[in-house]
Amino acid sequence: MARMAHPQAMQPARPPRTRTARPKAPDYLRPRMLSYLLFDATGIVYLLAGLVVLRAVFALASGPAAWQAFVADLHHPGYVAFHLLTFVSAVFVGVRFFRLFPKAQPARIGPLRPPPRPLIHAMLYAVWIAVTAFVVAAMVGVIP
Amino acid sequence: MADGSKTKTFIVTRFDPDRHEAPTTETYEVPVRERWKVLDALNYIKDELDPTLSHRWSCRMAVCGSCGMNVNGEPKLTCKTSLAEYGDTVRVEPLANFPVVRDLVVELDGFMDKFRAVKPWIIKAKERAVEEGPHRQSPEELEVFRQFSMCINCMLCYAACPVVANEPEFLGPAAIALGHRYNEDSRDEGARERNRIFRGEGTIFSCSYANECSEVCPKHVDPAAAINQAKFRAVLDWAASFVTSGPREE
């Protein structure tokens, strides 16, 4: 007795998939990519800065002596270096954000259109300078 | 040299799935002419030095998007990239983030699937009668999305994207830019459908705005801008679903 044909025997042959080599990762050592990785790494700096703020809050809650000890610790060269690093990180992230923010604005919201990109840039920097000037004035006691 | 050519060393990735376990490299000395592009050198290698080299190319005028490769680590259209930009040694590799089929040729299947996923066509809520005539669009309406319609699907943006490298299922810059292009088209009524896709896993919110896609784009499409504008639109659309009629968005 003849053997039954396989039900799918007449279907067209499907060529096997070609073996491929694994994808290679992008070159992370290119200057632009390094800059992006640095931007990502600033997250660690902000995490540590957050921990310092938490320590300040706990010191404040623990009374004047604890607060004075905390303020004295801030004069340690390690703390000064860390705050310098935080400042540089903040400037770096700010400049990067200001560069990329304008083009992320939608082309229109209903009938409204965003202002020209150079104007958005200028407004961002103006606000930054104003806020920085206000904070510095408050710190040096110009604003009571 | 007397004929105005200068010899450069090309380090080219080679991979034959029947012979190699993993890609290797081969070095060629190429007498390049003053105005040669990287593609000219590859064609010289293929024609004069090693006919077994495989690479894709077609139009030679930065329109077809076939000849994208990594040149000294940076995704480039090789027909548009002058050899004068490089020193004596040029490293040519297949595009990063793509499986390699052979030598400098990469597999496109996954890439094309991502394009289909964003429904890159005009969607109408209901059929338009022929008698109503064409749907006219003003130059101002065209200008809103024109930039995003210039994509030639060269895949350089995928090769540059650090998110695609870590999250291969990420829809990626070109596909999202294309979807956003239709969302911004005044003739289209499918934005809600696409925004539902955009709010899913591995789409717009996976983008960390590295901006690499826009940096390498040879047609200045600026996919990073498209993705981040799409984020805003998708959130607005989601919020609007709470105050307008129609099915509530998840």
How large is the average pLDDT for residues A112-117? Answer: 88
CATH code of the domain covering residue B36: 3.10.20.30
Q: Where do we find the tokens 């498209």?
A: B226
CB contact under 8 A, A36 and B70: no
CB contact under 8 A, A103 and B224: yes
Q: Is B222 on the interface with A (CB under 8 A)?
A: yes
**Structural domain ending residue among the three candidates B106, B129, B154:** B106
In a domain, B48, yes or no: yes
Pair (B164, B45) in one structural domain: no
Pair (B151, B190) in one structural domain: yes
Pair (B124, B216) in one structural domain: yes
Residue A144 scores a pLDDT above 90: no
Nearest CA in chain B to A21: B100
- Within a 10 A sphere around the Cβ of B202, how many other Cβ atoms? 15
Pair (B166, B214) in one structural domain: yes
Q: Is A35 on the interface with B (CB under 8 A)?
A: no
Nearest CA in chain B to A26: B96
Residue % of chain B over a pLDDT of 90: 84
Least confident of A43-52, B1-10, B226-235: B1-10
In a domain, B249, yes or no: no
CB contact under 8 A, A109 and B236: yes
Pairing of strands B89-93, B6-14: parallel
How large is the average pLDDT for residues B152-157? Answer: 96
How large is the average pLDDT for residues A35-40? Answer: 94
Residue A112 scores a pLDDT above 90: no
Amino acid (1-letter code) at residue B205:
F
Predicted confidence at residue A98, as pLDDT, reads 94
Pair (B113, B156) in one structural domain: yes
Best CA proximity match to B105, nearest among B184, B23, B175: B23
Residue B3 scores a pLDDT above 80: no
Nearest CA in chain A to B180: A106
Pair (B68, B161) in one structural domain: no
Predicted confidence at residue A3, as pLDDT, reads 74
Q: Pick the residue of B149, B211, B214, B220 with the most A CBs within 10 A to test the interface with A by mutation.
A: B211
Predicted confidence at residue A130, as pLDDT, reads 96
Pair (B186, B129) in one structural domain: yes
Give the pLDDT band of residue B2 (cuts 50, 70, 90): low
Pair (B113, B209) in one structural domain: yes
CB proximity under 8 Å: B 87-146 to A: 93-94, 96-102, 107, 144-145
Bridge partners of B7? B31
Best CA proximity match to A115, nearest among A125, A103, A126: A103
Amino acid (1-letter code) at residue B97:
N
Residues shown for chain B:
250
Measure B97 CA to nearest chain A CA, in Å: 5
Q: Where do we find the tokens 């002058």?
A: B82
In a domain, B151, yes or no: yes
Pair (B124, B78) in one structural domain: no
Predicted confidence at residue A9, as pLDDT, reads 76
Of B96, B145, B236, the CB nearest to A26: B96
Predicted confidence at residue B105, as pLDDT, reads 97
Identify the H or E element spanning A48: helix A31-61
Predicted confidence at residue B250, as pLDDT, reads 47
How large is the average pLDDT for residues A69-95? Answer: 96
Pairwise CA distance, residues B13 & B23, whole Å:
6
Residue A90 scores a pLDDT above 90: yes
Higher pLDDT, A4 or A30: A30
**Structural domain ending residue among the three candidates B73, B106, B139:** B106
CB proximity under 8 Å: B 146-205 to A: 159-162, 165, 168, 184
Pairwise CA distance, residues A121 & A99, whole Å:
7
Predicted confidence at residue A92, as pLDDT, reads 96
CATH code of the domain covering residue B156: 1.10.1060.10
Q: What is the mean pLDDT of chain B?
A: 93
Higher pLDDT, B173 or A144: B173
C-beta separation of B162 from B210 below 8 A: yes
In a domain, B246, yes or no: no
**Structural domain ending residue among the three candidates B69, B87, B106:** B106
Can you give the three-state secondary structure of chain B, one letter per residue? CCCCCEEEEEEEEECCCCCCCCCEEEEEEEEECCCCEHHHHHHHHHHHHCCCCCCCCCCCCCCCCCCEEEECCEEEECCCCEHHHCCCEEEEECCCCCCEEECCEECCHHHHHHHHHCCCCCCCCCCCCHHHCCCCCCHHHHHHHHHHHCCCCCCHHHHHCHHHHHCCCCCCHHHHHHHHHHHCCCCCCCHHHHHHHHCCCCCHHHCCCCCHHHHHCCCCCCHHHHHHHHHHHHHHHHHHCCCCCCCCCC
Predicted confidence at residue A1, as pLDDT, reads 59
Of A18, A21, A25, the CB nearest to B23: A21
Pair (B214, B130) in one structural domain: yes
Of B101, B168, B233, the CB nearest to A20: B101
In a domain, B247, yes or no: no
Of A19, A27, A29, the CB nearest to B17: A19
Class of domain A29-100: mainly alpha
Nearest CA in chain A to B165: A25
Q: How many domains does chain B have?
A: 2
In a domain, B250, yes or no: no
Pairwise CA distance, residues B9 & B45, whole Å:
11
Give the pLDDT band of residue A4 (cuts 50, 70, 90): confident
Task: Name the residue range of residue B122's domain.
Answer: 109-240
- Within a 10 A sphere around the Cβ of B207, how many other Cβ atoms? 23
